[in-house]
Amino acid sequence: EPEVTQTPSHQVTQMGQEVILRCVPISNHLYFYWYRQILGQKVEFLVSFYNNEISEKSEIFDDQFSVERPDGSNFTLKIRSTKLEDSAMYFCATQIQGNTEAFFGQGTRLTVV
């Protein structure tokens, strides 16, 4: 069964450092998302990406965050200068056009120290 792959599975970084989280979407999917989940809380939307541009972003997705699809396959989330409160699980999700089922990756656990 096709799946969304995220790397790394766990990233520890110092406050103020830049991190890049990577996602390989399912090959024929056209809608890409990043969500995050702070420990014990619900999953929160960060950003959606379609046709090589951001289609929607949340209040959380401020100037410190960016997304891109640099090589037409990987979908990345960059946090420029991490803060302690960025510590969370970050999930990439993808959808095929016209279908409500979003496929989530296993997540990257980001720990900012």
Partner 1 sequence: GESVGLHLPTLSVQEGDNSIINCAYSNSASDYFIWYKQESGKGPQFIIDIRSNMDKRQGQRVTVLLNKTVKHLSLQIAATQPGDSAVYFCAENKAAGNKLTFGGGTRVLVKP
What residue ranges bind partner 1 (CB under 8 A)?
Answer: 4, 31, 33, 35, 39-45, 48, 50, 56, 58, 91, 93, 95, 97-107
- For residues 17 and 65, which CB has a smaller minimum distance to partner 1 in the complex? 65
Closest CB 16 distance from partner 1, rounded Å: 25
Distance CA 78, CA 4 (A): 18
Which residues lie across from 21 on neighbouring strands?
Answer: 77
Closest CB 101 distance from partner 1, rounded Å: 5
Closest CB 94 distance from partner 1, rounded Å: 11
End-to-end CA distance of the chain: 36
Q: Answer yes or no: are the C-beta atoms of 52 and 69 closer than 8 Å.
A: yes
Element (H, E) at 10: strand 10-13
Q: Answer yes or no: are the C-beta atoms of 9 and 22 closer than 8 Å.
A: no
Closest CB 111 distance from partner 1, rounded Å: 15
- For residues 44 and 68, which CB has a smaller minimum distance to partner 1 in the complex? 44
